[in-house]
Amino acid sequence: MTTLQIGDKAPNFEAKDEKGNVRKLSDYTGKKLVLFFYPKASTPGCTAEACNLRDNYQSFLAKGYEILGVSADSAKRQQNWINKHELPFSLLADEEKEVINAFGIWGPKKFMGKEYDGIHRTTFVIDENGVIEDVIAKVKTKEHTNQILK
């Protein structure tokens, strides 16, 4: 789906998180960033993925990673999801799909025989200099940490 590849510069993004704070790629200069895109907060697959990252959050911090989630959900929906599952990381409320489109993960999908446009679950691992280290397009929601930290 995405045309971004390992070694590409990550698109510079700017969007508000669940609290209304503006987050930019430049905020993570000097840090490694796990940027995970998911279709919809509070759905079973997305919850499994986020909880897997939550349960292994200290391992990510120990290896110098920050985690940031992105979907087209509203800030209120993102905050409710964080509260319900005690997620320790921020979530971008990209309702205008600016970050989603910059990373090229919006497009046609099929679910139960129906076609529609939506977010393709994808994770980008970005190094300290804003360069993409890994693109995970086939996310295993319950084992996502292992895919990232291999």
List, in order, residues 6 or more apart from 83 with CB less than 8 Å away: none
46 assigned to active site: yes
Q: Which of 25, 46, 82, 125 is catalytic?
A: 46
For residue 12 the two structure tokens come to 């510079």
Q: What are phi and psi of 41, to 5 degrees?
A: -60, 145
By the 10 Å C-beta count (0-12 exposed, 13-18 middle, 19+ buried), 62 is classed as exposed
By annotation, the residues acting in catalysis are: 46
